[in-house]
Amino acid sequence: MTPPIFALLTDFGLEDEYVGLIKAALLARLPEARIFDLCHAVPPQDIAEGAFILARALPHLPPACFVIVVVDPGVGGTRRLLAAQLAGRWYLAPDNGLLTPVLRQHPEQIIVLHPPDQLLSKASTTFHGRDLLAPMAASLATRLAAGGSTADLGEAVPAESCCFLPDSSLMKEHASIQGEIIHIDHFGNLASNIRRDDLPATAPMAACVVTIGGLEITGISRAYNEKPPGQPLALWDSGNVLEIAVNGGSAAKVLGAAKNMAVKVHWLAG
C-alpha cells in the first residue's frame, strides 16, 4: 500500500509546538505517512488569507493527498468540521470559509465530520487540529486505502449549506477593470484579485496602465528584471493574478500599501 500523503496549512507559526503535535497525531496512527508543510505563516485568525493560499495551492498538490487546513478562530464553538473531496484529494477544515476555493469547484462529496465519542471526550476545546482533524484525516486515509466507505465518518451535505467567504469585488468597464490588493507576500509583492483572464485577450500588455496609490505603471511585464532595480512594475504572477512588485525591493514598503488598497488597469479600447 502506498503511504498516504498529508499536507498541512495553518496559522500556527513555527515558534510553538502546535505543528509538531499535529504531525505527531498523524504519525501515531499512520507511522508510514508522508507529511509536508504547505504553509504555517497565515496571519493569526486570518481565514481569508488561509483560503487565498489554499486556492493558489490547489492545482499543484500531489494526487490523492489529504490536506488539513486549520485557521480556526471559532475552535470549541458551534462551527462544524468538514471533509471535502475534489479531484481525488481530500480537504479537512473547520466550516468557516476556509474551504471556499474547494467548495466553488463543485467537489465530488462533502461530509460534516462526526468524530467518535472516544475522540470527543479527550479533545481539547482549543486544539481541534491535533485532537479531531488529524485523527479524522488518518481514519479517512485508512478507510479509503482499504476500500471502505466514508459513510460512518459523518453526514453528507451540499456545498450550499457550507460557509463561503464573500467574493472580492471587481469593477469592470469597457476598457478598464478595478480590483484590490488581497495578499502581500514575504517579499512585499502585492497580489490583487485581478486575473489575467479578466482582461480581454486583445488588451495590449505593453500599453496597459496600472494605477495604485497614485502611482501609474505603464505596461505589464513578463518578469521582475524587465524594470531597473528599485523600480515598481506590474506582472502576472505564478498564480496568474496581477501583482505589483519592486525589482529587488518591497512594493509594500515603497507604496505604503496594505490589503484592500485599490488597483486599476486600463487599456486602449479596440
Q: What is the pLDDT of residues 68-99, one digit of tens each?
A: 999 999 999 999 999 999 999 999 999 999 99
In a domain, 225, yes or no: yes
In a domain, 227, yes or no: yes
One domain for residues 214 and 234: yes
Inform me whether the pLDDT recorded for 190 exceeds 80.
Answer: yes
Give the burial string for 159-176 (b: 16+ CB within 10 Å, else e).
beebbebeeeeeeeeeeb
The burial class, CB within 10 Å (0-12 / 13-18 / 19+), for 39 is: middle
Mean pLDDT for the stretch of residues 235-260? 94
CA separation for the pair 215, 179 (Å, rounded): 15
Which 3 state secondary structure label does DSSP give 121? coil
- Choosing from 139, 161, 183, the residue where a domain stops is 161
Give the burial string for 44-53 (b: 16+ CB within 10 Å, else e).
eeebbbbbbb
One domain for residues 122 and 221: no
In a domain, 203, yes or no: yes
What are the DSSP E strand ranges found in 165-214? 171-173, 176-184, 190-195, 209-212
Mean pLDDT for the stretch of residues 101-122? 96
Mean pLDDT for the stretch of residues 171-197? 94
One domain for residues 128 and 213: no
One domain for residues 184 and 112: no
SS (H, E, C) 27-39: HHHCCCCEEEEEE
CA separation for the pair 17, 29 (Å, rounded): 19
In a domain, 9, yes or no: yes
Give the burial string for 184-221 (b: 16+ CB within 10 Å, else e).
bbeebbbbbbbeeebbeeebeeeebbbbbbeeebebbb
Q: What is the pLDDT of residue 263?
A: 97
- Give percent above pLDDT 70 in the chain: 99
Mean pLDDT for the stretch of residues 6-34? 98
One domain for residues 212 and 244: yes
One domain for residues 133 and 224: no
CATH code of the domain in which 56 resides: 3.40.50.10790
One domain for residues 103 and 20: yes
- Give percent above pLDDT 90 in the chain: 90
One domain for residues 13 and 132: yes
Inform me whether the pLDDT recorded for 8 exceeds 70.
Answer: yes
- Choosing from 161, 195, 211, the residue where a domain stops is 161
- What pLDDT band is residue 17 in, cutting at 50, 70 and 90? very high
All 3 cell numbers of residue 146? 482499504
One domain for residues 176 and 84: no
Domain containing residue 202: 171-266
One domain for residues 89 and 221: no
Count other C-beta atoms under 10 Å from residue 114's C-beta: 15
Mean pLDDT for the stretch of residues 115-144? 97
Q: In this predicted model, what pLDDT tens digit does every residue of 32-57 receive, in sequence order?
A: 999 999 999 999 999 999 999 999 99
How many distinct structural domains can be found in the chain? 2
- Choosing from 161, 189, 216, the residue where a domain stops is 161
In a domain, 13, yes or no: yes
One domain for residues 23 and 89: yes
Q: What is the pLDDT of residue 168?
A: 81
The secondary structure of residue 14, as a DSSP letter, is S
Mean pLDDT for the stretch of residues 141-162? 94
All 3 cell numbers of residue 230? 528599485
In a domain, 48, yes or no: yes
Instruction: Kindly report the average pLDDT of the chain as a whole number.
Output: 95
In a domain, 166, yes or no: no
In a domain, 193, yes or no: yes
CATH code of the domain in which 231 resides: 2.40.30.90
Q: What is the pLDDT of residue 2?
A: 87
- What pLDDT band is residue 270 in, cutting at 50, 70 and 90? low
Inform me whether the pLDDT recorded for 207 exceeds 70.
Answer: yes
Terminal-residue alpha carbon distance, the chain:
58
One domain for residues 201 and 157: no
